[in-house]
Amino acid sequence: MSWLSRLFRNRPDPRDALRPLWHRVVEIARERQWYAEHGVADTVAGRFDMITAVLCLVLIRLEREPELKEPPVLLTELFVADMDGQLRESGVGDVVVGKHIGRLMSVLGGRLGAYRDALREPGDEALAAAIVRNLSLVDGADAAQTARALRQLEQDLAAMDAATLVAGRIER
């Protein structure tokens, strides 16, 4: 095989195996109860916040599987690709898309650390505090109630075997 044919051969996108999980993350983040019952603002910012919250919980769960080094990276790449597309669709120009993506990655990293730390704490007080800092909530929303719902999702993910999770088969 020549170097040219190796260069241009069609290889499957390694992210394809994680697309069902990414789509499931987005589906869970869009579930009505987050907005109607748990006080997340039903706005662009609120929906982004919920996507990052659910993504963080999935990434934290995947961290518990030392043999799964690639899926969290690929899942994060799908997040970036999706956000890139959303930014471009909303009219953000090529010149500044990279800067916006950099900020979104910084936000994701900060939230990942905040949720990771809060979930290690017993009870829901630390998680409720992280939610107040990282979720767009409507006035009067009970962050403790939202914390209980996120903690339940985290427990549901923890109970799943890794293969089922990676395949995106998260039952709710």
* pLDDT attached to residue 110: 96
Q: How confident is the model at residue 1 (pLDDT cuts 50, 70, 90)?
A: very low
Q: Is the pLDDT of residue 29 over 90?
A: yes
**Among residues 153, 172, 142, 155, which one has the least CA distance to residue 38?**
142
* pLDDT attached to residue 66: 83
Contact 54, 29 (CB under 8 A): yes
pLDDT tens, position by position, 116-167: 999 999 999 999 999 999 999 999 999 999 999 999 999 999 999 999 999 9
**Among residues 114, 103, 132, 126, which one has the least CA distance to residue 57?**
114
Question: Token pair 């044919």 is at which residue?
Answer: 5
Q: Is the pLDDT of residue 8 over 80?
A: no
- Its pTM stands at 0.88
Alpha-carbon distance values, 116 to 6, 17, 56 (Å):
42, 25, 8
Alpha-carbon distance values, 147 to 48, 52, 125, 141, 161 (Å):
17, 15, 8, 11, 23
Cα separation of 81 and 41, whole Å? Answer: 24
pLDDT tens, position by position, 35-62: 999 999 999 899 999 999 999 999 999 9
SS3 11: coil
In this structure, what are the phi and psi dihedrals at residue 39, rounded to the nearest 5 degrees?
Answer: 80, 15
Cα separation of 88 and 82, whole Å? Answer: 10
Contact 121, 127 (CB under 8 A): yes
